[in-house]
Chain A
Amino acid sequence: MSLPAIAEKDFQDTVRSRGMLILVALFSVLVAAFAVIVRPTGDGGDQFATEVLLQFFVGPLLVTTLVPLVGIVVGYNAVSGERESGSLKLLLSLPHSRADVVFGKVLGRGAALSLAVVTGFLLPGIVLFALAQTGALATFNVGSFLGYTVFAAVLGVVFVAIAVGCSAAAETQRRALIGGVAVFVLFVVLWSLVTGQFLNAASGLIDPLPVSQQQVSVFLQVANPITGVELLSGAFLGDRLLSGETVNQQISAVSMLVFWTIAPPLAGLWKFDSDDL
């Protein structure tokens, strides 16, 4: 049972860092600022649109760019940092396997980031809820808000997992950092370009298959965890989660999120396991 021990220790270690407080404050301030922007400006009868706040402000401006970035920052030094400082020696002198270390780190840091996201969303959420109770706000959809928070945390965990995988494979902090930056650029900036090029190059291969170019293209889009979470959270806010016409895409998105959480740490472990430390 050494994986939970590592996860717990890493969680304790991470939540004690100064960066955690900064993260919570940053999320809170941003969510609160967006809430101020979308607040009803006309007469008191206007509804406070929780879904508008989330889908058009918090979503594109905060969740799909900042959360992946934070996930990478939290994860990229998980293994390589300990390797460079020497605390990995202390860790591996105890009865832990290297697999325990990698997946314990994913769990511990994923949990720490989730805590930061949830706390950061909850603080302004409580204020909004209180305002709604006192009548200052017409409505506040608590369910939508909490649900969306979960999606944001999931996205964070996926990027923590990808970054921890890079970290395990990297022999130095520097390489881990380069890997993390590359991951961010790939998923946030270059994804459609890269997948577009891939589609063009592979069209000859796809044609004989019983799937259309269009289907492959859609799959590749939702294979990006950011797009996947956008799709799923949008469906959730529209009350169409895992139903409606996009159900197949949503299932693809869910499976790809699972894939990105497991495959990068496994690939990193494969390299880490054979390294001399």
Chain B
Amino acid sequence: MTAIELRGVTKQFADVTAVRGLDLTVEEGEVYGFLGPNGAGKSTTIDMVLDLVRPTEGTVRVLGQDATADGVAIRQRTGVLPDGFAVYDRLSGRQHVEFAVRSKEADDDPDDLLDRVGLLDAADRKAGGYSKGMRQRLALAMALAGDPDLLILDEPSSGLDPAGAKEMREIVRTEADRGATVFFSSHILEQVEAVCDRVGILRAGELVAEDSVEGLREAVGGEETLEIALAGGDADGADGATDAAVDAVRDLDGVSRVDRDGDALVVSCADGAKTQVIGALEDAGVAVADFHTREASLEDLFLAYTEGDAPDARGEDSEESTGEDATDADTDAADATDAEEVSR
């Protein structure tokens, strides 16, 4: 059975289309990372899964039931850490968790749940005095009540320090090991990298990539980053040269992204485009002082997907890819094709 299934879901608000024709499937038992920059439609999607927002078009099914018609039954088996929530200032942490346990008709000991999220010492304090991170932990404790089959965590690490974020990941892993499906959103890649079986990247309301973390990482192999130091003469000449350099490179085939870093250019491009980039710079009369390639990280791919155009046409001249043997390059080519299929 699928834990979450969105089919052709569109959400039109008065002035903006937040989600556009979204198909998304989260299988039972997997940990799914839902990525995208702020404003991509992640929270709207999660709100539709939770029946806080109703889709304009399409169907949303959760744990095999209709999100709107069977919302209460769904949430009986679901733990939710919402985004942008507030606590009840006058109630203590323990009262919050007691309320969650009672609402789910569960039999958890509230103190056990508070202990799991590291909030037992503050259990009797009023939640109004909690820090952002403590509120986040409190909502997580409430979400864990009743051993939910599905955990939905919207930006779970916001407000947490690195140690807190690590504890959050450990709890996600424990819940997944127990057999729960975990669906969580983030705009920070490192957080999903460590725990997710599968990642979906949302951009402007559309799913632009979906793969395992490993698959995405391999897909990135077809893309590399060039750092090119330009031989700038005097101060005013250097600026002109860099502008000209950006113009020369930006529209080349295989170049997905060009950034300026002082006198240097940072170019994300397909493996085979490297010589073209250098050539184009020389044709434009820009002197290249030095350049080196940097292996692309998932972060680069994430940025490419969410800010620029999704990378395409990678691996065409795979034999030219530096520092990789032919077998790897072949794999890259295959994965690039996969990525293309899901990138729409």
- Contacts from A to B (Cβ < 8 Å): 1-2, 5-6, 9, 12-13, 16-17, 82, 85-87, 89-90, 92-97, 274, 276-277
> Are A12 and B91 in touch, CB under 8 angstroms?
yes
Q: Which size class do B's interface residues fall under?
A: 20 to 34
**CB-based contact B87/A95 at 8 Å:** no
Report the Cα distance A157→B336, complex, angstroms.
65
**B50 proximal to A (CB < 8 A):** yes
Residues from chain A with a CB closer than 8 A to the CB of B84 are: 86, 89
Q: How far is the CB of B317 from chain A (nearest CB, A)?
A: 49
**Cα of A33 to Cα of B118 in the assembled complex, Å:** 52
B187 at the interface (CB under 8 A from A): no
Report yes or no: A277 in contact with B90, Cβ–Cβ below 8 A.
Answer: no
> Are the CB atoms of B54 and A94 closer together than 8 Å?
no
CA distance A89 to B100 in the complex (A): 13
Query: Known contacts A9-B99, A86-B85: does B90 contact A93 (CB below 8 Å)?
Result: no
Cα A27 to Cα B45 in complex, Å, equals 49
The reply to whether A90 and B91 form a contact with Cβ atoms under 8 Å apart is: no
B44 CB to nearest A CB, Å = 9
| One of B73-81, B163-171, B191-199, B297-305 at the interface | B73-81
The number of inter-chain residue pairs (CB within 8 angstroms) is 81
Asked, given contacts A87-B85, A89-B52, whether A96 binds B91 with beta carbons under 8 Å apart, the answer is no
CA gap between A97 and B50 in the complex, in Å: 11
12 A-B interface contacts by CB (under 8 A): A5-B103, A9-B95, A16-B91, A17-B90, A86-B82, A86-B85, A87-B88, A90-B82, A90-B86, A94-B100, A95-B76, A97-B71
CB distance from B336 to the nearest CB of A (A): 39
A13: contacting residue among B81, B90, B103, CB under 8 A: B90
Q: Which of B80, B86, B88 meets A93, CB within 8 Å?
A: B80
A94 to B71, CA, bound (A): 10
For B95, list chain A residues within 8 Å (CB). 9, 12
B53 & A95 in contact (Cβ 8 Å cutoff): no
Q: Knowing A92-B52, A93-B143, A94-B104 touch, does A9 contact B86 (C-beta < 8 A)?
A: no
CB distance from B52 to the nearest CB of A (A): 4
Complex CA distance for A95 and B13, rounded to whole angstroms: 26
Decide: A95 and B82 in contact? CB cutoff 8 A.
Answer: no
The interface residues of chain B lying within 8 Å CB-to-CB of A87 are 85-88
In the bound complex, do residue B103 and residue A277 qualify as a contact, i.e. CB atoms below 8 Å apart? no
